[in-house]
Every structure is written in C-alpha cells, then in structure tokens.
Amino acid sequence: MSAILDDLAPISHDDSGKLEDVRRLEIDLVTPDPPLVVRGRFRYVEWWSRDGVGWRRFKYQYDYIDVMNRSRLAYHRHDLPGAPDTLHIHCKSPGSPSLEPHFRAYEVDLLEAHEEFAAVYASGRAIDCAGLRPLITTQKGTDA
C-alpha cells in the first residue's frame, strides 16, 4: 500500500492495536517534503475490529487539506449526534465560511479516496463543493 500512497510524498504511519480487539491505522503525507512550502496534507485514519474471521473496518476519516487555497475535502464514516455510523463528506471551498457543513456521501475505501485527492492536488484546481447535497439527520434542527 505504501507504494501507492507515497506517489506524492513519503508517508508516515502508525498501526496500533494489532493484538487488541480494535486496531487503528493512521497514515499522513505532507507535500511537498518540508522544508519546502507545504501545499497539501493527506491524512487517512481507519478503525478496524475483529469479527471472528479477520478484521472489519467500522470507521474511517480520509482528509485532504489544500493548504495553499485554505480548503478541505474529506470522506468520513463515524457516529454523529443523532446519526450513528454515518457516511458523510466535509467540504470547504476556498473563500467559503470556516463552518464546514456535512454533505451526503457513499462508502469509499482508502485507495479510492487517495486517488481522488491526489487527482485534485495534481491538477492544481481548487477544491469545489458545488453539487454536494447537505446531510440531513434525524436529530431535529441540525445538519450533524
């Protein structure tokens, strides 16, 4: 996996809990390599649990931060207030308010997220949140 992820920059990673019931994998990339001016940060965190046969991913947070344009695109799966085990997107376009609402999402894996984030980074385009639909949860009056 590191051969795929280190296409943009060297990775740092932490794999904890291999001998426990819950395992956490965290991978970070900062590009370009410091001391050059940082243009992007990629952070991938997954939580896995034993299911009797092997490991099952039950939660994740995949984030791309465009440092130069002060924007963010992220795919998450975790509990939200009033909405357990919720797939959602965080998206902040350049110049938009700092409040990042949640948007509807679909299941992605780490490599799919990285492929999308790397393509946006390599294109030099700013993150564009147009077309994303707001996430509506069952908790009245909130957008989670």
Residue 137: inside a domain, yes or no? Answer: no
pLDDT-derived band at 57 (thresholds 50, 70, 90) equals very high
Asked if the structure places residue 78 within a domain, the reply is yes
What is the extent of the structural domain holding 80?
A: 2-123
Please report, rounded to a whole number, the percentage of residues in the chain having pLDDT higher than 90: 56
pLDDT for residue 140 is more than 60: no
Residue 102 lies in a domain: yes
pLDDT attached to residue 98:
65
Average pLDDT, the chain: 86
On whether residue 142 sits in a domain, the answer given is: no
Q: Is residue 129 part of a domain?
A: no
> Please, how many CA atoms are within 13 Å of residue 104, restricted to the half-sphere of its CB?
7
The dihedrals phi and psi of 42, each to the nearest 5 degrees, come to -120, 130
Kindly state the percentage of the chain with pLDDT values over 70: 84
Among 7-21, 100-114, 124-138, the least confident range? 7-21
Give which of 121, 128, 62 is closest to 92, Cα–Cα: 128
Residue type, 26: E
Residue 142 pLDDT exceeds 50: no
Whether pTM exceeds 0.75:
yes
Q: What is the pLDDT of residue 14?
A: 92
Distance CA 36, CA 17 (A): 34
Domain assignment of residue 141, yes or no: no
